[in-house]
Amino acid sequence: MTEERFYELTAYERKLNADGIKIIAGLDEAGRGPLAGPVAAGCVIFPSSGPFPHADDSKKLSPRRRDQLYDEITACALGWGVGLAGSEEIDGVNILQATYLAMRRAVEAAVADAAEKAPSAGAPEIILVDHVRVPDLIIEQLPVTHGDALSVTIGAASIVAKVTRDRIMEEYDAIYPGYGFAAHKGYGTAAHYAAIRELGISPIHRKTFLKTLH
């Protein structure tokens, strides 16, 4: 990443810093679209002055680079956390509400982690969120459309969410062999649909996403 690109990615953080906001959280999700597995949300908390990892939109990065950044992010964050909502919750309340649920869980985990690691820092003063405004969060939110490509804090959250979810799907590949979860991570590839037709719907599939197949 060039220094120019990194400067662009810290624009929101620098503006908030100039406004006197010192503790910033980033929040993003991964896995709203797949046919199987949980939706995951990541939340990271940084001081407004950094240090920030060179985190960009997780979709732009190779798996190896995401893994490297995951380690950097979790090492330098004041606090971080992941929230999950599983396939049964997704089927029960719909994917949007399940995503909000995962996001609230991620914020709770990150705030708890920060309170343990850096109790003198205090709670986040604002949460930068990718695109949406999450209901029932008491911390002020600033939605940023395409935020994972515009804010280093949201980008870091997206990496934490993506890496965590990918690792979960790789574990599921061993539990439910034959579906190819390690390769496609639950997304609706041709190979995945073919496996469902051959093997049936697994316990981690989102049945509401597969109404035409059962």
> Alpha-carbon distance 151 to 4, whole Å?
13
Tokens of residue 146, six digits: 């395409």
Instruction: Determine the Cα–Cα distance for residues 26 and 100; give it in Å rounded to an integer.
Output: 14
| Range of lowest pLDDT (50-54, 117-121, 154-158) | 50-54
Residue range 162-178, pLDDT digits in tens = 999 999 999 999 999 99
**Banded model confidence at residue 45, pLDDT cuts 50, 70, 90:** very high
The arrangement of secondary structure in 3-168, i.e. its CATH architecture, is 2-Layer Sandwich (3.30)
Return all residues near 47 (Cβ < 8 A) that are at least 6 apart: 22, 23, 24, 78, 121
98: closest CA among 43, 156, 29? 29
What mean pLDDT comes out for the span 22-33?
A: 96
Cα-based torsion angle of the residue sequence 35, 130, 66, 42 in order, rounded to the nearest 10 degrees: -80
CA–CA dist 119, 174 (Å, integer) = 39
Q: Rg of the chain over CA atoms, in angstroms?
A: 18
The whole model's pTM is what? 0.95
> What residue ranges do the domains of the chain occupy?
3-168
What was the pLDDT predicted at 55?
Answer: 75
